[in-house]
Homo-oligomer: A and B are copies of this chain.
């Protein structure tokens, strides 16, 4: 058997790695990470615990990944891990939230592979802690989305919107119409973390690593 761990590395602060993630990264036979044009946040986060000789970067060209991409990546992982060895695959945030890892699991065709997933701190959870606003209190509900529907927004108390860069203005207007107060958080957990609430200031920012948190004004 070969084992591949999907490891959530959290929002970026190395101290927000879990003890389990650190132990598994240190003891892995191979460390796999997506090669995101030289910028790899998961890798940077875990750098202190990575033996470079064990590191393998895998290409997932943004916007161009297909089933074949994941199948080829799994074949490469299979070739590089010997029987009885453990590999770790590093994901930004958590592996179950807008992530690559489950695509790899689904692309696997070898029955000698075992998968295990280790949760990481999602960016929106870190951001709520930074602004010190509940994601959900008793009796409330919370929506996580990348392009929320207006009707659904009307039915929830709190929302996090990830990948905001494509249509930031439209998203802010949608939140205003549904009577939400919002916070824009960029580079959460990094020393240069930025929190904005002013619409004009938010629209001047263009940060890929950003998200919106919002709560109904009536709360």
Pick the contact of A102: B97, B121, B132, B143 (CB < 8 A). Answer: B132
Stretch from A149-157, A172-180, A196-204 contacting the other chain: A149-157
Query: Which residue, of A16, A23, A96, has the highest number of chain B Cβ atoms within 10 A?
Result: A96
Which A149-173 residues sit within 8 Å CB-CB of chain B?
149, 151-152, 155-156
The residues of B that contact A156 with a CB separation of less than 8 Å are: 143, 152
A96 touches B16 (CB 8 A): no
Which A110-132 residues sit within 8 Å CB-CB of chain B?
115, 117-122, 125-126, 128-130, 132
- Tell me if A95 is interfacial: C-beta within 8 Å of chain B: yes
- Tell me if A8 is interfacial: C-beta within 8 Å of chain B: yes
Which A1-52 residues sit within 8 Å CB-CB of chain B?
6, 8, 10-11, 13-20, 22-23
B143 touches A97 (CB 8 A): no
Given known pairs A143-B156, A149-B155, A152-B141, the reply for A94 and B125 (CB within 8 Å) is yes
CA distance A147 to B139 in the complex (A): 7
Proximity bits, A77-113, B CB within 8 Å = 1, else 0: 0000000000000000011111100100100000000
Q: Which residue of B lies closest to A188 (CB)?
A: B119
Pick the contact of A138: B16, B125, B146 (CB < 8 A). Answer: B146
Given known pairs A121-B121, A135-B97, the reply for A15 and B8 (CB within 8 Å) is no
* Minimum distance in angstroms from A42 CB to a CB of chain B: 15
B18 touches A16 (CB 8 A): yes
The residues of B that contact A136 with a CB separation of less than 8 Å are: 96-98, 144-146
A119 touches B115 (CB 8 A): no
CA distance A102 to B132 in the complex (A): 8
Pick the contact of A18: B15, B105, B122, B147 (CB < 8 A). Answer: B15
Pick the contact of A15: B14, B23, B148 (CB < 8 A). Answer: B23
B20 touches A18 (CB 8 A): no
A137 touches B23 (CB 8 A): no
Residues of chain A having any CB pair with chain B under 8 Å: 6, 8, 10-11, 13-20, 22-23, 94-99, 102, 105, 115, 117-122, 125-126, 128-130, 132-139, 141-149, 151-152, 155-156
